Amino acid sequence: ETGVTQTPRHLVMGMTNKKSLKCEQHLGHNAMYWYKQSAKKPLELMFVYNFKEQTENNSVPSRFSPECPNSSHLFLHLHTLQPEDSALYLCASSQDGQYTDTQYFGPGTRLTVL
């Protein structure tokens, strides 16, 4: 079974919609991450959860709202997004949330905001 799964793989939404991205890890890890990958821009770390507690929020707009109900699941709730939010959203997990940990990535959700 794939270590980190993400659903949906593709999502198209209007600016007034509300949707959620889901990430699940089957590796027994304690830390999970959301990244944004925009075209021609460096990968940006958005949020970090360690043992279900949010430990990092890198100045992400409030229209992105993460949720981590347990160490295996991570959600990214989206509302009133802008076209510039269109990107590949990657989820990752690592053993303990140490910054030196190896992170294991999911395949991403390709989001298009119309």
- What is the binding site for other proteins (CB under 8 A)? 4, 40-45, 55-56, 88, 90, 92, 99-100, 102-108
Which residues, at least 6 apart from 33, have a Cβ–Cβ distance to it below 8 Å? 45, 46, 47, 48, 49, 91, 92, 93, 94, 103
Instruction: Give the nearest distance from C-beta 36 to other proteins in angstroms.
Output: 11
* HEC secondary structure over 83-112: HHHCEEEEEEEECCCCCCCCCEECCCEEEE
Minimal distance, residue 7 CB to other proteins, in Å: 13
In the complex, the smallest distance separating the C-beta of residue 78 from other proteins, rounded to whole angstroms, is: 19
Distance CA 36, CA 51 (A): 22
Question: With respect to other proteins, which residue has the nearer C-beta, 64 or 104?
Answer: 104
Question: What spatial distance separates the first Cα and last Cα of the chain, rounded to whole Å?
Answer: 34
Question: Is the CB of 64 or the CB of 103 nearer to other proteins?
Answer: 103
Among residues 80 and 86, whose Cβ is nearest to other proteins?
Answer: 86
Q: Which is nearer to other proteins, 1 or 16 (CB)?
A: 1
